[in-house]
């Protein structure tokens, strides 16, 4: 049965004050309009309605949507007749139990319970063998009554939840193309952030296949943020630093210095695009550069906040999210990585003063102490 209109529900928006709720509703509508350009979108309190050639997949990938339903729409005066027609057309007689779920708003001479009882009795008069079961019904019919308008539906499709994009501003994301960084981007998108992903080509450890993988992942994530665009930055600083550290027998600091440099690249880009922070896929103690000591030293490299949505995840938890959002298979593509640049025994307890002094020495080209 082709729907007349689609009902969009949201959850977290309800928790906000009236002025914030209105802004967030408008942001959600804007996100939907970006993806459903040929559709008409309107709102009533607590509901958003869409008519036209709707793509359900577009709605299913819009943050802020809690759930949505395809509906049949008609006037309140036709309710009894349309309910009987609807249940008949949807194979009602094949079921043993049913329930009606009523949601009503506006001024009416009846309550939701009154309506459920009268409609239930009307249905049972035509199908006396089908019993009411409000706990675990085989057939469930939802009825929305909004003033003089009615909507019927059975299907409730889950959305991604979260809050509308744009509600939290813009962030720059360091995107390597591995498993972690796409999940980190997804999680910050879900919390209302607009992402500006940056991929740094670290010569000579870079390979075109790695860059292609990063692009493929960003293209995949565009279903959540249509204007998502990967910025690629060439960099030779990391390799030059690695060579100098090797000459000084200080290779153990290579990873920390590399990441501090990447943070600074991200900070520079963040200031250029008006972003309010940096997103990374780091998880506490997952690798040597992600110990508490090293994360503390990394944060010291920049003045903008660094957001790590995966900080408390173990690898399996991150993989589970990656599989759910469809980035896992892309992330595990066999491509060269910078692993060949990782020292045999990387430092796990770097000191801020030591690293800062070392960076100054390397910048000046002064001899190791």
Q: 146, 156, 166: which is closest to 9 by C-alpha?
A: 156
Separation of alpha carbons 108 and 156, rounded Å: 26
Separation of alpha carbons 163 and 142, rounded Å: 25
Q: Establish whether 175 is an annotated binding residue.
A: yes
The reported pLDDT for the residue numbered 340 is 45
The reported pLDDT for the residue numbered 368 is 42
The reported pLDDT for the residue numbered 341 is 52
The reported pLDDT for the residue numbered 56 is 97
Q: Establish whether 290 is an annotated binding residue.
A: yes
- The contacts of residue 154 (CB under 8 Å, 6+ apart) are 90, 139, 140, 141, 142
Peptide bond into 204 cis (omega under 30): yes
Q: Establish whether 225 is an annotated binding residue.
A: no
CA 363 to chain centre: 40
The reported pLDDT for the residue numbered 338 is 55
The reported pLDDT for the residue numbered 180 is 96
The reported pLDDT for the residue numbered 367 is 45
Separation of alpha carbons 365 and 362, rounded Å: 5
Contact 57, 35 (CB under 8 A): no
- Under DSSP, the state recorded for 111 is -
Separation of alpha carbons 264 and 278, rounded Å: 10
What are the strands, taking DSSP E only, across 60-207? 67-75, 97-105, 131-132, 139-146, 149-153, 157-158, 170-174, 194-202
Torsion of Cα atoms, 52 then 58 then 60 then 66, to 10°: -60
The reported pLDDT for the residue numbered 285 is 82
The reported pLDDT for the residue numbered 252 is 82
Q: 259, 265, 280: which is closest to 346 by C-alpha?
A: 259
The reported pLDDT for the residue numbered 184 is 98
CA distances from 131 to 82, 117, 138, 267, 367 (A): 20, 13, 10, 64, 87
The reported pLDDT for the residue numbered 273 is 96
The reported pLDDT for the residue numbered 45 is 79
Under-70 pLDDT residues of the chain:
336-346, 365-369
The reported pLDDT for the residue numbered 301 is 94
């Amino acid at each position: 049965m082709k729907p007349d209109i689609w009902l969009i529900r949201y959850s977290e928006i309800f928790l906000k004050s009236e002025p914030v709720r209105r802004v967030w509703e408008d942001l959600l509508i804007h996100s939907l309009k970006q993806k459903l350009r040929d559709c008409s979108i309107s709102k009533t309190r607590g509901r958003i309605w869409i008519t036209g050639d709707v793509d359900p997949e577009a709605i299913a990938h819009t943050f802020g949507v809690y759930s949505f339903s395809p509906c049949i729409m008609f006037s309140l005066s036709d309710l009894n007749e349309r309910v009987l027609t609807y249940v008949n057309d949807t194979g009602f007689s094949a079921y043993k139990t049913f329930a009606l779920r009523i949601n009503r708003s506006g001024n009416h001479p009846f309550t939701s319970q009154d309506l459920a009882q009268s409609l239930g009795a009307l249905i049972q008069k035509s199908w006396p063998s089908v019993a009411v079961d409000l706990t675990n019904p085989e057939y469930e019919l939802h009825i929305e009554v909004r003033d003089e308008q009615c909507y019927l539906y059975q299907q409730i499709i889950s959305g991604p939840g979260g809050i509308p994009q744009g509600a939290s501003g813009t962030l720059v994301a360091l995107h390597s193309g591995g498993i972690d960084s796409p999940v980190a981007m997804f999680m910050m998108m879900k919390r209302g952030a607009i992402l500006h992903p940056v991929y740094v080509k670290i010569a000579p450890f870079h390979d075109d296949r790695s860059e292609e993988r990063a692009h493929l992942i960003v293209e995949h994530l565009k279903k959540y943020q249509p204007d998502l665009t990967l910025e690629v930055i060439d960099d030779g600083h990391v390799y030059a630093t690695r060579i100098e550290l090797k000459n000084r027998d200080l290779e153990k600091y290579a990873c920390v210095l590399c990441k501090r440099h990447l943070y600074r690249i991200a900070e520079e880009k963040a200031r250029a695009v008006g972003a309010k922070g940096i997103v990374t896929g780091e998880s506490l103690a997952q690798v040597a550069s992600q110990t508490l000591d090293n994360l503390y030293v990394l944060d010291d490299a920049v003045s903008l906040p660094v957001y790590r949505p995966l900080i408390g995840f173990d690898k399996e938890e991150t993989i589970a999210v990656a599989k759910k959002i469809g980035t896992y298979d892309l992330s595990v593509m066999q491509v060269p990585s910078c692993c060949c640049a990782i020292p045999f025994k990387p430092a796990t307890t770097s000191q801020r003063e030591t690293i800062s002094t070392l960076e100054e020495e390397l910048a000046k080209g002064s001899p190791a102490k």
